């Protein structure tokens, strides 16, 4: 069993008077996390699944008395796929406010649906964690640094969903199943999704543009939809933890791109499944994009696991000067990074940028040194 980095953090918050909310895409291991945390070691847990129709019916229009009868002598109420339950926020609020001896744990695979339901009722009443596919640090901790570095090519192609790591002989089949059966399940139920087929087309268009600026106007023309619909569906893909955006930094320089954005996938394997390309690294034309996507996603996981307060950007001018990643810490210090798959290539850091935004750090990240980028303090 690969231990998730958030386990200790969640354990410290147990029975602290607030609900525990864990959000993440389907199949990233949320249920397994809770099994490991409480279900396998306690017999006072009521476990419910929002995908079950009878559970949704049971938790509709509840009150304090009906919840007390339902929970009985249990000390923990675990609700999996909580976004499927109408007014789940009110259910959790009643438990937190009125049934104080019970710890509520809820997981959800669509932050759009779940946060819509819980945001107002649970203000000040919940701790929240985002869960992603396994991180470089989690995999390093499970084996060792050398072993994980030797698997870099495999990670770039097949990603790090738990099922993929645990079943190396069926990686391709599992990823195709993930991209086909699970990827759009929650999104297709989201309000206003009139054309589910568009989700697949938009996801594929974004998968083919990782590392590049994305024009929603161009995607709209490509898939035959209006720009506002494209914007809405991209927002839903973000809320389902499939993709994340990187905005452009623009503050001082006249020729900076001001409204640009790039999109990356939280998992390389899922991205490759979307475009149906599992070719080995040595035969791929998109290895640079794969490398950049992997580093970006792993850096996001690292910052969240360590609760770092960091803002991330890219930078580009109309003259095509560009920097892949800029990070701004809580003291407004900037660090800049370029990603190069070829260890022999050095990143070119624009003098225009360096003069306008003097950074405290600038580095080129390659397969030779990426462990330092993803594990900044090896003593941690």
pLDDT in tens, 92-103: 999 999 999 999
CA 190 to CA 14: how far, in whole Å?
31
Would you state the pLDDT for residue 68?
Answer: 97
Would you state the pLDDT for residue 32?
Answer: 93
Would you state the pLDDT for residue 114?
Answer: 60
Per-residue pLDDT of the chain (380 residues; tens, 9 = 90+): 899 999 999 999 999 999 999 999 989 999 999 999 887 888 999 999 999 999 999 999 999 999 999 999 999 999 999 988 888 999 999 999 999 999 999 998 866 566 666 767 888 899 999 999 999 999 999 999 999 999 999 999 999 999 999 999 999 999 999 998 778 777 777 777 878 889 899 999 999 999 999 999 999 999 999 999 999 999 989 988 999 999 999 887 778 887 889 999 999 999 999 999 999 999 999 999 999 999 999 999 999 999 999 999 999 998 888 999 999 999 999 999 999 999 998 888 999 999 999 999 999 999 999 999 999 875 44
- Per the listing, tokens 């072993």 go with 147
CA 372 to CA 380: how far, in whole Å?
12
CA 297 to CA 293: how far, in whole Å?
6
Question: What domains appear along the chain, each with residue ranges and CATH number?
Answer: 7-131 (3.40.50.300), 136-374 (1.10.10.10)
Q: Which of 180, 19, 186, 1 is nearest to 92 (CA)?
A: 19
Per-residue pLDDT of 178-225, as tens digits, reads: 998 778 777 777 777 878 889 899 999 999 999 999 999 999 999 999
């Amino acid at each position: 069993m690969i231990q998730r980095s958030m386990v200790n953090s969640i354990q410290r918050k147990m029975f602290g008077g607030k609900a525990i909310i864990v959000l993440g895409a389907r199949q990233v291991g949320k249920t397994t996390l809770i099994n490991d945390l409480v279900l396998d070691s306690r017999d006072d847990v009521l476990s419910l699944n929002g995908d079950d129709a009878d559970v949704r019916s049971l938790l509709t229009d509840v009150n304090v008395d009906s919840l007390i009868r339902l929970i009985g002598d249990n000390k923990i109420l675990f609700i999996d796929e909580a976004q499927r339950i109408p007014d789940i926020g009110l259910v959790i609020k009643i438990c937190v406010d009125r049934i104080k001896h019970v710890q509520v744990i809820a997981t959800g695979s669509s932050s759009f649906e779940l946060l819509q339901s819980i945001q107002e009722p649970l203000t000040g009443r919940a701790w929240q964690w985002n869960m992603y596919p396994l991180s470089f640090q989690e995999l390093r901790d499970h084996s060792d640094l050398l072993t994980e570095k030797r698997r870099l090519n495999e990670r770039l192609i097949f990603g790090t969903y738990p099922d993929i790591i645990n079943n190396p002989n069926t990686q391709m089949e599992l990823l195709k199943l993930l991209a086909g059966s699970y990827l759009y399940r929650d999104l297709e139920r989201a309000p206003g999704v009139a054309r589910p087929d568009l989700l697949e087309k938009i996801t594929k268009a974004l998968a083919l543009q990782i590392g590049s600026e994305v024009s929603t106007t161009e995607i709209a023309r490509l898939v035959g939809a209006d720009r506002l619909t494209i914007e809405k569906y991209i927002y839903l893909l973000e809320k389902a933890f499939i993709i994340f955006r990187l905005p452009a930094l623009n503050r001082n320089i006249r020729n900076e791109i001001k409204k640009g954005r790039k999109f990356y996938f939280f998992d390389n394997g899922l991205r490759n499944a979307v475009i149906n390309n599992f070719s080995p690294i040595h035969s791929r034309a998109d290895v640079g994009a794969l490398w950049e996507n992997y580093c970006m996603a792993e850096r996001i996981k690292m910052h969240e696991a360590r609760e770092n307060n960091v803002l991330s950007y890219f930078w580009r001018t109309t003259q095509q000067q560009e920097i892949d990643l800029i990070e701004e810490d809580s003291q407004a210090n900037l660090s800049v990074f370029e990603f190069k798959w070829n260890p022999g290539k050095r990143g070119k850091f624009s003098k225009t940028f360096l003069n306008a935004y003097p950074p405290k750090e600038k580095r080129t990240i390659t397969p030779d040194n990426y462990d330092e980028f993803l594990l900044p303090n090896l003593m941690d």
